[in-house]
Chains A and B, each alone.
Chain A
Amino acid sequence: MASMWKKNVGWLGTVAIALVIAGCSKAPAPEPEPEPEPQVEDTRDMEAERAAREAEEARRLAAEEARRREVERNRVVSILSERVFFDFDRSDIRSDMESVLQRKVSVLREYPGIVLRIEGNADERGSNEYNLALGQRRAEAVRRYLLSYGLEAGRFSTISYGEERPLVRASNEQAWAQNRRDDFAITNYGRLDSGD
């Protein structure tokens, strides 16, 4: 135990020296000095090399971690952003949309800090004003579904855009089917952003 401690201190010492040297080397143009003795330079080189290796390793690990986080973040964001579609003039959850919502439930349980805005939308066919109410019902339907799995109410806000923000600007059944939907905006990324 004691020897390990010593070893650690020694190691830390070298790192500290290496850091000091590294720090010095970055200092603005020092006055020209006589060439240092080759032996000393050698040791410093070795230490610097080791420090560089370690730094490289740390960078690699950090990059790997960042990549892992990136992949995880993309997974979470893509699951949470998956749209939920509705039938004409309906706001009840379609059975084929439950799997989408189930994926959201598990991700939301995994990341309790995430906060979502659920945005209800309608196709262009109904009246402009009624579609606002319909979009609100669609947002609310998904919010209720998520709450029914015990997720906290404070994590969800709702808004309706009626028919004002179509996904596809066309007047046919395919476009309408795409436009009758809930979008999801992540308003707080929780620990996806805080980084632990």
Chain B
Amino acid sequence: MRAAIDKALLLLCAASILMPAAAAAQDPERDSIPSDVRVGILYQPSFRPGIIVPPISTTDDMQELADSAREILLRDFDFGDRFQVMRVGDDVPLEGPVNYNLWDQMGAVWLVIGALEGTPDSPVLRLSLHDVVFKLLQDVQAFELPSVGDERMRLVLHRASDRVTEWATGTAGMAATKIAFVGHGSGGSEIYVVDSDGYNPHQLSDDNSITLSPAWSPSGDRIAYMSYKGGDPAIYELSLNPGRSTLLVDLPGLDLTPSYSPDGKTLAFGSTVDGRTEIFTYDLSQRCCPERTTFARYSNSLSPTFSPDGKRIAFNSDRLGQLHIFVKDIPDGSPELVTPYIYDRSVHNAGPDWSPKGDRIAFHGWVQGQPQIFTVAPNGRGLRQLTQVGRNEDPSWASDGRHIVFASTRHGYEGLWVLDVVSGRIRRLVRAAGARLPAWSGSLDSPSHFAEGAAAGSYNNR
């Protein structure tokens, strides 16, 4: 099986190296990739250690919760792409001390023992992570869960699985996150939100107008977006609890493509200057002072995205006569080209998103007239193409810096897909015509996020 996959990957690589030449012959105008740059779909063959989560022990009145909690943990570990999830039957003996030899023989590296205690009103999930190879208890924690039936249950369990992932790998998982996106609406489009595992998709905005470009606040409790609901397109902010929309910035002309700085104090966005689009910053703590940060007469600059330290932005501009990704210091600093300039071509690179780990910028660029997902280092090195089937657009990084959500038409259906850039594994998140412009939240595990949810009494806004 592994050999077959390797062979398929090799073929893919060969095909993608050969293809640019063929493409150039057919349609020389529509390529974002220079023909002398080799871009292949190369994924590292990586070892994923086996993880086992035996059935969670509990009392009869919480059996249902114990079973669903286990399913959520297993799916999170699978979707996180760091572990090989191993299924075991119910006949495995769980009583007594941990039988490391047994798990070792099954090929597991990690073992997660769960016990659900307390009462249905205030259940407590005790999770312990065992290192099967070194035969020791890696870590243990009791997670307080909301009462049975509470809508926040899934998020709290995702949070627990993210902790377990952190114990095992050193970096937290990305299960306790949500993805905002644009979908069809009565007046054009509305903002929707879905959990990282595809559960609980729901409409958040109710603008009955055109809404675009959702962006998460770092705290994860607000989404900035563009809406036409006031007539003049402006940047609004949606709070998640409850889903209320308020005006954030409205400069003359179009205001578009908002993005929060990592400290949440600044909003960068595009706005009209003399009929073209330039990037501005806006002080969110003072609620004032839009300040222009790009200066390119006769061309557009838009779609800003902050580096994790908040000192630089990557953005989209057509200042060279082709559409490219640039990086610049803010507020001052001259833009530096990140994507390759190709003489005499119509290049279309757009939708940049800076990884929260800082090392890569994802974007989409045209290959044979179809957008595909790429990543590149902020200094312009190491360009990598990650997709090649159908149209693939508007990538957004997960908090773990290795998963990307994007809009795709692969397999003939419009929808949102999640790609693990390390292994190349891909899964569908949302299947919906018109689902586009996804934005992945940061980790929704701050105490304030949960406190607000508790105060509102309901996580669902509609």
Contacts and interface: CB of A to CB of B under 8 A. Distances in A.
B189 interface: yes
Of B274, B275, B346, B436, the most chain A CB neighbours within 10 A belong to B275
B213 interface: yes
Contacts of B272: 136
A160 B233 CA distance: 9
A16 to B, nearest CB: 51
Contacts of A130: 300, 302-303, 316, 318, 323, 348, 350
B188 interface: yes
Interface stretch (B117-125, B156-164, B249-257, B354-362): B249-257
B203 to A, nearest CB: 17
B70 to A, nearest CB: 40
Interface in B326-348: 346, 348
A128 B437 contact: yes
B270 interface: yes
B364 interface: yes
Interface in A37-68: none
B267 interface: no
A104 interface: no
B270 to A, nearest CB: 7
Of A129, A141, A161, the most chain B CB neighbours within 10 A belong to A129
B212 interface: yes
Contacts of B212: 128-129, 132, 162, 164
B393 interface: yes
Given A127-B394, A159-B233, A164 B188 contact: yes
Interface string B200-214: 000000000010110
Contacts of B189: 164
B371 A127 contact: yes
A112 interface: no
B351 interface: yes
Contact of A164 (B210, B274, B371): B210
Nearest to B189: A164
B217 interface: no
A17 to B, nearest CB: 55
Contact of A140 (B232, B233, B275, B371): B275
Contacts of A13: none
B229 interface: no
Interface string A129-152: 110111011011101100000000
Nearest to B278: A133
Given A158-B253, A159-B254, A133 B302 contact: yes
B277 interface: yes
A128 B394 contact: yes
B233 to A, nearest CB: 7
A131 to B, nearest CB: 9
Contacts of A140: 274-276
B275 A126 contact: no
A118 B249 CA distance: 23
Interface residues of B, number: 35
Looking at chain B's contact residues, the main secondary structure is strand
Looking at chain A's contact residues, the main secondary structure is helix
Interface of A: 89, 125-130, 132-134, 136-137, 139-141, 143-144, 158-162, 164-165
A134 B350 CA distance: 13
Contacts of A125: 369
B97 to A, nearest CB: 57
A133 B350 contact: no
A129 B275 contact: no
Interface string B122-137: 0000000000000000
22 contacts: A127-B316, A127-B323, A127-B351, A128-B212, A128-B213, A128-B394, A129-B213, A129-B302, A129-B351, A130-B300, A130-B302, A130-B303, A130-B318, A132-B212, A132-B277, A133-B276, A136-B276, A137-B275, A143-B275, A159-B233, A159-B254, A160-B254
Contact of A127 (B182, B276, B393): B393
A89 B394 CA distance: 19
B366 to A, nearest CB: 9
A137 B300 contact: yes
A129 B233 CA distance: 13
Of B256, B316, B348, the most chain A CB neighbours within 10 A belong to B256
Given A128-B436, A130-B350, 4 more contacts: A129-B256, A158-B253, A164-B210, A165-B188
B303 A129 contact: yes
A136 B213 contact: no
Given A127-B350, A127-B351, A161-B210, A136 B253 contact: yes
B351 A89 contact: no
A136 B275 contact: yes
B257 A129 contact: yes
B254 A126 contact: no
